Amino acid sequence: MSTQTELKRVATQEIEPIRPKQSKKGKIRKYKPKTVDPTSALGVLQFEIDEILAEFNLTRNTILNDVGCILNEERDGPMHRLYHREVNSVEVLKAGANGEGLALIPSPVDTDKKQIALIPFALPGDLVRIKTFKTHPHYVECDLLEVIKPSGKRNDDLIECKYFGKCSGCQLQHLTYEDQLAFKKRTVMNAYKFFAPKLMEEKVVPEVGETMRSPLEFGYRTKLTPHFDLPKRMKGNGERPALGFGHKGRPQWRGNADGGSGPMLDIEECIIGTKIINKGMSNERARFEKEFTKYQKGATILLREHTKVVDPQTPIEEQLDEGSTDIEGKISYLQIADEENEKPLVKTCVTNTRQIVTEYINGFTFQFSAGEFFQNNNSILPSVTDYVRKNLQIEGSKPEDPHYLVDAYCGSGLFSITSSKGVDRVIGVEVSADSVAFAERNAKANGVDNCKFIVGKAEKIFGSIDTPADRTSVILDPPRKGCDDVFLKQLAEYNPARIVYISCNVHSQARDVEYFIKETENGNCFKIESLRGFDFFPQTHHVESICVLSRG
């Protein structure tokens, strides 16, 4: 088995949270490591821990915590109290890809040992006071209690949201936008360092480009999914459950107790959401306030922005589709000025997963079911689709040369359609039949007649392609887990002229790119032309990455 395949398949690392429970008499509880994908947040953390260990010349053994001991003792037993304690004057060393600060703190039980502390909302260079509250074999989860001395990068005056420091949604509001973009560039670099080590060693990974900025830094998210839980103790007791997003840290450092203390925060406004999404959130909260007793279990509420061109001669209310309604039962909407359209645009918030939603991008119109995948930041899409289209061009081509596109993981046709001009034929493949139906409909609605879409797993495309490989460029935009080996092998066998790999998880992208170049038959004919992050989600740790490969 190759190293890459081992990395992909044998992903066992002991990173399951330990919850101390009362041990049953005579029974020794054993810590059971859980399998995690190395390219997931917890998997990446293991690489980050190893990096700190290497820097300080420490071994995994030096930071090993006695989780078995904690596991076998009563809550608040002596080991539990030793491990879960306050630690003062902790210097934060690094920022993890997930936005947390990483630090080395003394072990509570052995003066020769240390612990790795994972501290949300702490920045490298901060001097902080923390409370460790959950012990894992190789790290401890902490709450940030106080920033004793801030890092030069920290600027808490930039924080716009009262829930920041407590909500799991945003991690970077205390950084300038330039520093957020630099953080994301580092994430891309680290991803290739961790997951494409052979390519890094051979120095074939180009310098990572500057992260493309989002035109909107707040108020950009066109989809939000607030959630509520209904634990047994709340059923029928008349108390309304919190409706909002997951709880991430204790807010002592911000002196803020809003939102409650349960696993879900009660949130009435999300400043990264668009205006109409927040209006929808306010409507749905008002409805929930009245109707929560009818629910038997927890649920997630969909809030998706929908844009419609309306006729100025007809009352807007008569032209609205199904959408979130206010307390009087009227659909909430916002009318917006749009220089490109002569007719006014109206935005509503859709809550029904089956409702058809419309988005306008670079003069193209896209429709899809509200519950299906579509990119969440409309403001950056014109630049991203332009970037993808330009990078699909085959170098040295003349306008009369044939050019074909393959769009694997095509969704409702975003990249196929926006890249279709000047191209002879586009063929897209997508596992969701619903999305493919919309891709066909979107092509037609935009007057694009050179696109064909098929339903199936990405590799099904190789049964349908009849275009010459050296005149074909391929778009890859897989889900977070990335592409699988079967697909990558067939892609290499097909041997296209160019590949533009778009990814919402740069770690799985780096793994796939190394696998493709180093482990597949024709992979070594390809070179990485460029690599760059795109900021689809300002204020959060997330980064999209585009890697362009060409046959060298």
Ligand X SMILES: C[S@@+](CC[C@H](N)C(=O)[O-])C[C@H]1O[C@@H](n2cnc3c(N)ncnc32)[C@H](O)[C@@H]1O
DSSP labels, 168-202: SS-S-TTS-HHHHHHHHHHHHHHHHHHH-HHHHHT
How far apart (Å, rounded) are the C-alpha atoms in residues 469 and 370? 36
Short-list 200, 213, 177, CA closest to 47: 200
Query: For residues 294 and 421, which CB has a smaller minimum distance to ligand X in the complex?
Result: 421
Q: In angstroms, give the least distance from the CB of 428 to ligand X.
A: 8
Strand pairing of 299-300 and 227-228?
antiparallel
Q: In angstroms, give the least distance from the CB of 268 to ligand X.
A: 30
Short-list 270, 272, 181, CA closest to 220: 272
Does the annotation flag 73 for ligand binding? no
- Tokens representing 56 are 């300080």
**Residue 530: what residue type?**
S
Residues 230, 241 contacting (CB under 8 angstroms): yes
Show the site string, 472-511: x = touches ligand X by CB under 6 A, - = not. Answer: -----xxx------------------------x-------
How far apart (Å, rounded) are the C-alpha atoms in residues 204 and 529? 9
Q: In angstroms, give the least distance from the CB of 453 to ligand X.
A: 11
Q: In angstroms, give the least distance from the CB of 530 to ligand X.
A: 19
| Overall residue count recorded for the chain in this entry | 552
CA 386 to mean position of chain CA atoms: 22
SS3 452: strand
State yes or no: residue 375 binds ligand X (CB under 6 A): yes
State yes or no: residue 331 binds ligand X (CB under 6 A): no
Q: Please pick, from the candidates 31, 288, 373, 494, the single residue that binds ligand X as defined by CB under 6 A.
A: 373
Q: In angstroms, give the least distance from the CB of 199 to ligand X.
A: 23
Residue 427, φ and ψ in degrees, nearest 5: -125, 125
Q: Please pick, from the candidates 195, 245, 360, 415, the single residue that binds ligand X as defined by CB under 6 A.
A: 415
How far apart (Å, rounded) are the C-alpha atoms in residues 279 and 325? 9
Q: Catalytic site residue 451?
A: no
Of 194-202, 314-322, 348-356, 405-413, the segment contacting ligand X by CB under 6 A is 405-413
Q: Please pick, from the candidates 11, 204, 316, 431, the single residue that binds ligand X as defined by CB under 6 A.
A: 431
Show the site string, 138-177: x = touches ligand X by CB under 6 A, - = not. Answer: ----------------------------------------
Q: Please pick, from the candidates 435, 472, 520, 550, the single residue that binds ligand X as defined by CB under 6 A.
A: 435
Does the annotation flag 539 for ligand binding? no
State yes or no: residue 126 binds ligand X (CB under 6 A): no
Residues 487, 408 contacting (CB under 8 angstroms): yes
Q: In angstroms, give the least distance from the CB of 192 to ligand X.
A: 20
Q: What is the dihedral of CA 187, 191, 193, 195, to 10 degrees?
A: 170
Q: Please pick, from the candidates 410, 506, 531, 549, the single residue that binds ligand X as defined by CB under 6 A.
A: 410
State yes or no: residue 534 binds ligand X (CB under 6 A): no
Closest CB to ligand X belongs to which residue?
411
- Neighbour count for residue 414 (Cβ, 10 Å): 28
Of 49-57, 291-299, 423-431, 514-522, the segment contacting ligand X by CB under 6 A is 423-431
Query: For residues 102 and 483, which CB has a smaller minimum distance to ligand X in the complex?
Result: 483
For the stretch 192-210, what's the b/e string if a residue is b when 16 or more beta carbons lie within 10 angstroms of its beta carbon? bebbbeebbeeebbeebee
Q: Please pick, from the candidates 83, 194, 253, 374, the single residue that binds ligand X as defined by CB under 6 A.
A: 374
Distance set, CA 531 to CA 190, 192, 340, 548 (Å)? 12, 10, 32, 6
Query: For residues 463 and 479, which CB has a smaller minimum distance to ligand X in the complex?
Result: 479
State yes or no: residue 429 binds ligand X (CB under 6 A): yes
State yes or no: residue 409 binds ligand X (CB under 6 A): yes
- Neighbour count for residue 486 (Cβ, 10 Å): 12
Does the annotation flag 477 for ligand binding? yes
- Neighbour count for residue 261 (Cβ, 10 Å): 11
SS3 109: coil
- Neighbour count for residue 104 (Cβ, 10 Å): 19
Active site residue: 161, 451, 483, 504, which one? Answer: 504
Edge-first strand listing for the sheet containing 209-212 = 209-212, 526-534, 544-551, 498-503, 472-476, 404-408, 425-430, 451-455
Q: In angstroms, give the least distance from the CB of 465 to ligand X.
A: 15
Q: Please pick, from the candidates 43, 165, 323, 411, the single residue that binds ligand X as defined by CB under 6 A.
A: 411
Q: Which residues inside 178-197 make contact with ligand X, applying CB under 6 A?
A: none
**Residue 396: what residue type?**
G
Q: In angstroms, give the least distance from the CB of 463 to ligand X.
A: 13
Does the annotation flag 404 for ligand binding? no
Q: Which residues contact 149 (CB under 8 A, 6 or more apart)?
A: 126, 127
State yes or no: residue 107 binds ligand X (CB under 6 A): no
Query: For residues 326 and 434, which CB has a smaller minimum distance to ligand X in the complex?
Result: 434
Query: For residues 167 and 546, which CB has a smaller minimum distance to ligand X in the complex?
Result: 546
Residues 438, 412 contacting (CB under 8 angstroms): yes
Annotation: binding site: 375, 409, 430, 477
Residues with catalytic roles: 504
Residues that bind ligand X (CB under 6 A): 373-375, 409-412, 414-415, 429-432, 435, 457-458, 477-479, 504
Annotated binding site for S-adenosyl-L-methionine: 375, 409, 430, 477
